[in-house]
């Protein structure tokens, strides 16, 4: 069996290694510090408003930014153009069956489309949907028909520093309490998200999911699995859950999927393509959903996807059974997180499967939450490195009725690790520039809104620094690195 992509050098450290070769490349731009200062200012100090023209390493997200394999790209050539009955769909259906162990498959155009269909089919006004943690699109879609999200993560879930291997677990006592309080009839389903995205790509254990399943069975509640990040979850189960050490990833994927009544996924993540899907072994569920898929997504053999995307998705799903493929990102993330942790830079531990999450409150204790430390850190880190991260803090939150910021539970800079996109020397560069920034953290100040949209302000909002700290930071950078970038 092929092993995970970590090797031990005979002389020196243990490092993650790229078990693929690069056969098509895209030129990157590492602009000088003065141009970076201008670019971040022109973008209103909001990383969503930057152009990749000005970015060296884009660590905003792993959504739709992963590298495809040669097998995936070549599969697109044999795609079978047909509105109905395309053989591309047959191949995708077979891949879904082999990987997730489910007979029925409904394609949709991306993950949130699956959430929309589930919300339409199952959620009514006053329903409660318990879950380990929400994802932005999940919450929005489940609340539209009047549902309420109840997050029942364990106490370890939101801790910055932790050694808990499964921060994505559901707290069973909270789950039982919730069922007792509301009654099972108010709960259309329990949702478990693999590698909980918003709390750092942290997995759940199979043991925990089995216990949740038992509770579901006792009360006749349906169990839904969001498998968008299931590859990493399966990888961590193999690494961290003793009972699965000797199992193959394919077996672990089945062990997880067999516990769910219904599975949905975003292919933008799990198979490095576009699209998504819903799958189940229960014909009753399939029949309930298929009309909605036709109505909102398209005919049952394409569901809003192109046949080329369907072919690439089928191969991408099969590749999640390969430990050397799904282990690539987590092994790089582990390297980055451990390097930073050793250097004293405050990062979320243990390493997750999505990216490296830097604790902005620990990094910038002198910047109050009302001046957006996570947003300021992202702007400062872009200046220091040309690397783009994403804010997961108070800027991504909202204001209350009195106009005050609702302060976020955690202030994080997320540095996502798109699958098979970066090399180790690039990851080392990220670690180095972040350590430099940490040494110079006192130079970083806060931000304030100049233009603030009323909904989803983090996407289009524009900010300005509360002092001339960006100039001071740039001056220090030039002093330390000279003309070097």
Stretch that binds ligand PLP, among 79-87, 109-117, 361-369, 403-411 (CB under 6 A): 109-117
Question: Is the four-CA dihedral 433, 439, 443, 446 of positive or negative sign?
Answer: positive
135 is catalytic: yes
Structure-block tokens of residue 154: 């364990």
- Could you say whether residue 112 binds ligand PLP (CB under 6 A)? yes
Task: State residue 44 phi and psi, 5-degree precision.
Answer: 60, 35
Give strand pairing partners of 16. Answer: 6
In the complex, least distance from residue 276 CB atom to ligand PLP, rounded to whole angstroms: 5
Active-site choice (52, 78, 81, 83) = 83
CA atoms of 433 and 483, how far apart (whole Å): 15
Q: Pick one of 202, 208, 233, 266: the residue that binds ligand PLP (CB under 6 A).
A: 266
Nearer to ligand PLP, 76 or 229 (CB): 229
DSSP-assigned states of every residue in 264-289:
EEEHHHHTSSS-EEEEES-HHHHHHH
Active-site choice (52, 136, 370, 423) = 136
Q: Say whether 258 sits in a helix, a strand or coil.
A: coil
Helix (H) or strand (E) run with residue 129 in it:
strand 128-131
Q: How far is CA 36 from the centre of its chain?
A: 27
Q: Pick one of 36, 191, 254, 269: the residue that binds ligand PLP (CB under 6 A).
A: 269
Nearer to ligand PLP, 68 or 367 (CB): 68
Nearer to ligand PLP, 296 or 436 (CB): 296
In the complex, least distance from residue 346 CB atom to ligand PLP, rounded to whole angstroms: 24
Nearer to ligand PLP, 36 or 357 (CB): 357
- Could you say whether residue 320 binds ligand PLP (CB under 6 A)? no
264 is catalytic: no
Residue-wise burial string across 159-195, b where 16 or more C-beta atoms lie within 10 A, e elsewhere:
ebeeebbbbbbbbeebbeebbeebeeeebbbbbbbbb
102 is catalytic: no
Yes or no: say if 90 and 96 are a contact pair by the CB < 8 Å rule: no
Nearer to ligand PLP, 63 or 87 (CB): 63
- Gyration radius from the chain CA atoms: 22
In the complex, least distance from residue 267 CB atom to ligand PLP, rounded to whole angstroms: 7
Binding to ligand PLP, residues 130-169 (CB under 6 A): 135, 137-138
Active-site choice (45, 104, 133, 135) = 135
Nearer to ligand PLP, 1 or 455 (CB): 455
- Strands (E) across 157-205 are located at 189-193
Closest CA to 100 of 191, 190, 237, 225: 225
Q: Pick one of 37, 92, 119, 229: the residue that binds ligand PLP (CB under 6 A).
A: 229
Stretch that binds ligand PLP, among 10-18, 47-55, 233-241, 263-271 (CB under 6 A): 263-271
- Could you say whether residue 270 binds ligand PLP (CB under 6 A)? no
- Could you say whether residue 202 binds ligand PLP (CB under 6 A)? no
Q: Pick one of 46, 88, 110, 396: the residue that binds ligand PLP (CB under 6 A).
A: 110
- Could you say whether residue 226 binds ligand PLP (CB under 6 A)? yes
Nearer to ligand PLP, 193 or 411 (CB): 193
In the complex, least distance from residue 85 CB atom to ligand PLP, rounded to whole angstroms: 26
The DSSP 8-state label assigned to residue 358 in this structure reads E
SS (H, E, C) 75-109: HHHHCCCCCCCCHHHHHHHHHHHHHHCCCEEEEEC
Yes or no: say if 347 and 377 are a contact pair by the CB < 8 Å rule: no
- Could you say whether residue 440 binds ligand PLP (CB under 6 A)? no
Give strand pairing partners of 413. Answer: 358, 391
- Tokens 């250097």 correspond to 343
Question: Is the four-CA dihedral 30, 413, 266, 338 of positive or negative sign?
Answer: positive
Q: Pick one of 276, 316, 330, 373: the residue that binds ligand PLP (CB under 6 A).
A: 276
Q: Per-residue contact track with ligand PLP, 47 to 86, x per CB under 6 A?
A: ----------------x-----------------------
Task: State residue 81 phi and psi, 5-degree precision.
Answer: -70, 110
**Which residues are annotated as catalytic?**
83, 135-136, 226, 269, 392, 458
Give contact residues for ligand PLP (rule: CB under 6 A): 63, 110-112, 135, 137-138, 193, 197, 226, 228-229, 266, 268-269, 276
């Amino acid at each position: 069996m092929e092993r995970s992509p970590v090797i031990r050098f005979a002389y020196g450290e243990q490092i993650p290694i790229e078990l693929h070769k690069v056969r098509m490349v895209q030129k990157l731009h590492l602009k000088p510090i003065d141009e970076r200062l201008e670019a971040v200012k022109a973008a209103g100090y909001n990383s969503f408003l930057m152009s990749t023209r000005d970015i060296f390493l884009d660590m905003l997200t792993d959504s739709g930014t992963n590298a495809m394999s040669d097998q995936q790209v070549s599969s697109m050539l044999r795609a079978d153009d047909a509105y109905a009955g395309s053989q591309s769909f047959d191949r995708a259906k077979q891949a879904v069956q082999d990987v997730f162990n489910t007979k029925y498959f409904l394609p949709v155009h991306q993950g949130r489309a699956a959430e929309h269909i589930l919300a339409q089919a199952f959620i009514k006004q006053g329903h409660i949907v318990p879950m380990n943690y929400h994802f932005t699109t999940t919450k929005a879609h489940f609340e539209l028909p009047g549902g309420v999200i109840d997050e029942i993560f364990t106490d370890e879930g939101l801790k910055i520093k932790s050694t808990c291997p499964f921060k994505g677990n559901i707290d069973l006592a909270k789950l039982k309490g919730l069922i007792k309080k509301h009654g099972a009839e108010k709960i259309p389903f329990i949702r478990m998200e693999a590698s909980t995205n918003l709390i750092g790509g942290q997995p759940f254990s199979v043991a925990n999911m089995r216990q949740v399943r038992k509770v579901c069975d006792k009360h006749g509640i349906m169990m839904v699995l969001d498998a968008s990040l299931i590859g990493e979850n399966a990888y961590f189960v193999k690494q961290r859950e003793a009972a699965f050490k000797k199992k193959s990833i394919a077996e672990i994927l089945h062990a997880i999927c067999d516990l769910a009544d219904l599975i949905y996924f975003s292919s933008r993540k799990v198979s490095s393509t576009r699209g998504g899907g819903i799958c189940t072994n229960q014909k009753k569920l399939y029949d309930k959903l298929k009309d909605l898929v036709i109505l909102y997504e398209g005919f049952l053999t394409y569901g809003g996807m192109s046949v080329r995307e369907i072919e690439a998705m089928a191969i991408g799903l099969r590749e999640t059974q390969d430990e050397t493929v799904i282990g690539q990102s987590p092994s790089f993330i582990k390297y980055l997180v451990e390097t930073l942790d050793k250097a004293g830079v405050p990062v979320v531990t243990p390493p997750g499967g999505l990216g490296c999450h830097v604790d902005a409150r620990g990094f910038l204790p002198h910047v109050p939450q009302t001046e957006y430390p996570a947003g300021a850190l992202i702007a400062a880190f872009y200046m220091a490195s040309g690397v783009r991260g994403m804010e997961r803090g108070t800027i991504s939150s909202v204001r209350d009725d009195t106009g005050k910021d609702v302060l976020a539970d955690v202030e994080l800079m997320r540095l996502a690790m798109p699958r098979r996109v970066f090399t180790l020397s690039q990851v080392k560069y990220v670690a180095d520039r972040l350590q430099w920034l940490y040494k110079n953290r006192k130079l970083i100040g806060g931000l304030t809104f100049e233009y603030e949209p009323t909904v989803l302000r983090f996407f289009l909002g524009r900010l300005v620094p509360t002092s001339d700290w960006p100039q001071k930071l740039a001056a220090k950078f030039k002093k330390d690195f000279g003309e070097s970038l």
